[in-house]
Amino acid sequence: MEIDDEMIKSKGEEEDKKKPIVVILVGAPGSGKSTFCDHVMRVSTRPWVRVCQDTIGNGKAGTKAQCLALSNTSLKQGKNILIDRCNLDKEQRADFVNLKNSHQVDIHAIVLDLPAKLCISRCINRTGHEGNLQGGRAAAVVNRMLQKKESPKINEGFTRITFCYNENDVQSAMDTYGSLSSINTLPSGCFGEKKTDSKVQVGIMKFLKRVDAPSKLASDKTDKTEKTDKTTPGTSNDNTTQENHPVNEVETVEEFVNKIGNGRLVLVDLSHGSKILSLVKTKAAKKNIDSKKFFTFVGDITKLQSGGLKCNVIANAANWRLKPGGGGVNAAIFDAAGPDLDTATKQRAGSLTPGKAITIPLPSTSPLFSKEGVTHVIHVLGPNMNQKRPNCLKDDYQKGCRVLKEAYVSLFGNFESIVRNQEKLCKHFDGVLNSGVEKVRREDDEVCGTEKNKKFKGFVEEKEMGGKVNKDWGSWAQALYKIAMNPEKHGNDVIEILDDVVVLNDVYPKAQKHVLVVTRVKGLESLSDVGEEHLPILRTMHDVGLKWAQTFLKENESLVFRLGYHSAPSMRQLHLHVISQDFDSKHLKNKKHWNSFNSSFFRDSVDVIEEVREEGKPKLNDDEKFMSMELRCNRCRSAHPNIPRLKSHIAICKSPFPENLLQNGRLLHAPTKV
């Protein structure tokens, strides 16, 4: 019986190991989702299927529904899925997470939370992108999408979540999933999520560099020196100087530590019992140097990332020929960086004199870059006491200390230059980001403000209510108020004037028929101002709206109308939209236009009246997230990638309207003929 139990248990574990994985990638455009998929599919022995909405329609953009259909088909075939969509909010992820309800799968999330500036840079510079997001408009799009970002949580239904904040994290995640065989599993839970301060979370760059002594230690002015370990990163075999060199190092740190902005200096050594670390630490404490800007660390300088210290720049105690080999830290760094460092170094310089340093940018192909995140190596040459090498000081230790000081000054100067250049780069991308935001504003003006200015051409802002204008409304947003208060002055725009309301055509309608019923009650600017005392005016506005809808239906019985309010209108003075549901209009141009009439942001008039009657005020769905929801047909609720595709679909869609709209008189249409 025990054997049978073991067999059953073993079989169950084997089944679990074979369970497919659905990996939902979460990240802005340019965060590396497609690269992640390509890498995993190329190196993994597991059968993977990439589900990409940009290409799912026979190489062209498709719908979320198509992505779900392909996912279901692939899972039935026992394949693993990589969901290549932005999936930045919970709602976008939910349908894919729910795949576990119909399939025995694990649901994983890979969160590519890279700096916005990096994502924008990639998008701007790329060409031939599948989703056609490239060039100058990328900054605005990335910024806009990141505003709705919601980090995934385990309670959404995920088995495992991996957070990646930089390219090294991404590479590690790619390696993890790329190495999975068909029988491997990954532990459940949340991995890599930052628990740090807000500066790190918003991507403030912190450079961590090695400030290793570019020399061996000598105990006195004689020829006695410590023996250098030829295989261990730590010191260069070309140089010796006095044991008191930490004084030079710390004093130079003290001079530079306030010049390097968000940079930090770290002294690295392999041994916990390192005498040099102890001396430096003591001296730095005596000088009250900020321990957040300068500190010590025990570890291998070529594997700091693996040891928990994220490092961008490392200093190499080089030999004068700037050649690989020779033992010590120089050999270790060249070995870890691969031939790319040697090639890049030769392009910059052939040799180095004592007391000087030179910065070598590492190519992204270098293992030290891709695995450890090291972007620069600074070669530095200290004083030389070896008579077989050039510039030997011949035991002149006083001069040796001066040269050593020069070496640190040159080293830190090079590092300061890297930090300064990076800060300029950040400012450049901030400019790109800000210009992108401004571009969005200009685009919004084109589709909203400019049209509205044209729509109410000739209106001049006047001082009202004792010379004051509501500061919450821009000048163009006052136009409806002006019409409502003095409709007789605007006969060309108004189609009906009553005691309590005026009716006017929307000059830029979003459907074949689109009119506004505007209240003439002062102080009633939007739904947020509505209370129980306003029930009579709400009923009047509704009745007038019904009358106009019925008038239009007599002209065209195929139309269907909906009456409602925007939760947060863009124009002052409460107004009811009477709009046909064909949305056949050249003025319906973007997602905001569509979602303002086809999401919970649009409040049906009958619901508003009922809520005010029962609760004294209407419900407001004024969250901006409604404006950025995906485009869905107002009939069958299918998803579409852009407005042209959506318009083509709704022009032929004959599906019935959703059940909630068919109830309580929310839709108005011509009577069915018997």
Query: Where in the sequence numbering do the catalytic residues fall?
Result: 575
The residues, any chain, with a CB within 8 Å of residue 644's CB and separated by 6 or more, are none
What one-letter code names the amino acid at 19?
A: K
Q: Are strands 80-84 and 240-242 parallel, antiparallel or unpaired?
A: unpaired
Residue indicated by tokens 């270098």: 366
Helices (H), 147-274: 167-178, 198-201, 245-256
Radius of gyration of the chain (CA): 34
The residues, any chain, with a CB within 8 Å of residue 311's CB and separated by 6 or more, are 208, 209, 210, 266, 304, 305, 372, 373, 374
Contacts 24+ apart (CB under 8 A), 240-244: 240/215, 240/216, 240/383, 240/385, 240/386, 241/215, 241/216, 241/217, 241/382, 241/383, 241/385, 241/397, 241/400, 241/401, 241/404, 242/218, 242/397, 242/400, 242/401, 243/217, 243/218, 243/219, 244/401
Residue 304 and residue 267: Cα distance in Å, rounded?
A: 12
- Provide the Cα torsion 526, 531, 536, 541; round to 10°: 20
Provide the 10 A C-beta neighbour count for residue 674. 3
The residues, any chain, with a CB within 8 Å of residue 389's CB and separated by 6 or more, are 238, 319, 320
Helices (runs of H) and strands (runs of E) counted in the chain: 20, 23
Comparing CA positions, the residue from 376, 426, 436, 354 lying closest to residue 145 is 436
The residues, any chain, with a CB within 8 Å of residue 584's CB and separated by 6 or more, are 511, 512, 647, 651
Are 381 and 357 within 8 A, CB to CB?
yes
Residue 82 and residue 33: Cα distance in Å, rounded?
A: 9
Residue 116 and residue 31: Cα distance in Å, rounded?
A: 8
Helices (H), 384-520: 397-444, 450-455, 479-485
3-state secondary structure at position 402: helix
Token pair listed for 239? 């140089």
The DSSP result for 244-294, as a single string, is THHHHHHHHHHHHTTTSTT-EEEEEES-TT-HHHHHHHHHHHHTT--TTTE
| CA dist 224 → 136, 217, 244, 255 (Å) | 64, 10, 15, 32
3-state secondary structure at position 468: coil
Could you give the maximum distance between any two Cα atoms of the chain, in Å? 115
Are 324 and 316 within 8 A, CB to CB?
no
Are 85 and 5 within 8 A, CB to CB?
no
Helices (H), 445-534: 450-455, 479-485
Comparing CA positions, the residue from 32, 36, 145 lying closest to residue 82 is 36
- Provide the Cα torsion 33, 36, 42, 47; round to 10°: -80
Question: Residue 144: exposed, middle, or buried by beta-carbon count in 10 A (0-12, 13-18, 19+)?
Answer: middle
Residue 73 and residue 95: Cα distance in Å, rounded?
A: 15
The residues, any chain, with a CB within 8 Å of residue 451's CB and separated by 6 or more, are 507, 508, 587
